[in-house]
Amino acid sequence: LNAWLRAVLRPTSQELAFVAHEAVHTRQRKGPRLVWGYLTHRLLLMSHLEGTADLVAREVAGITINEAVHAYGRAHEAELWAEFREQMHGNDISGWLYQGPRSTDRPADLGYFMGERIAARYYASEPDKRRALRVLLRGGAARKVLRKGGYAGP
């Protein structure tokens, strides 16, 4: 196995986080707003979808599906946010999502971490957690979640 596969293959103790993460994707709404987001601000949108799934996995299982990515993200959050902020309204996801073994200078899939940080800030800021979760599951709500949650880095 290459280094990336070794990093993402999970022990069975992490099955709950994996199932929770993937189950969120089945509940995320698809529709015109999602399509619009995919066409106009793909990095923010896709990071929102993956980050929301990671947030729910953490709430359900106590861990995300890739703790190594999140550990690196927490240690480098300020610099990652500065870079992400400059790119998030674009459509190039290649430096942030689904890179697999192509990412050599830092862990792959740091968009999951950035999306989770943005979603977590929004979720924490909303008094009605059920409503907050409904908004997070709206695929096309990425910009609203960023704006209303007020994430601006660590």
CB-based contact 28:45 (threshold 8 Å): no
Given pLDDT bands bounded at 50, 70 and 90, which one contains residue 63?
Answer: confident
Q: How far apart are CA 69 and CA 113, in angstroms?
A: 7
Q: Is the pLDDT of residue 153 over 80?
A: yes
Residue 62 Cα to chain centre, angstroms: 16
Question: What does the longest C-alpha to C-alpha distance in the chain come to?
Answer: 45
Instruction: For 27-58, write each residue's pLDDT tens digit.
Output: 888 777 778 777 888 999 999 999 999 999 99
- What's the count of helices (H) and strands (E) in the chain, helices before strands? 9, 0
Domain borders along the chain are 3-149
Residue 5 to residues 9, 13, 73, 111, Cα–Cα distance (Å): 6, 17, 19, 18
CB-based contact 104:137 (threshold 8 Å): no
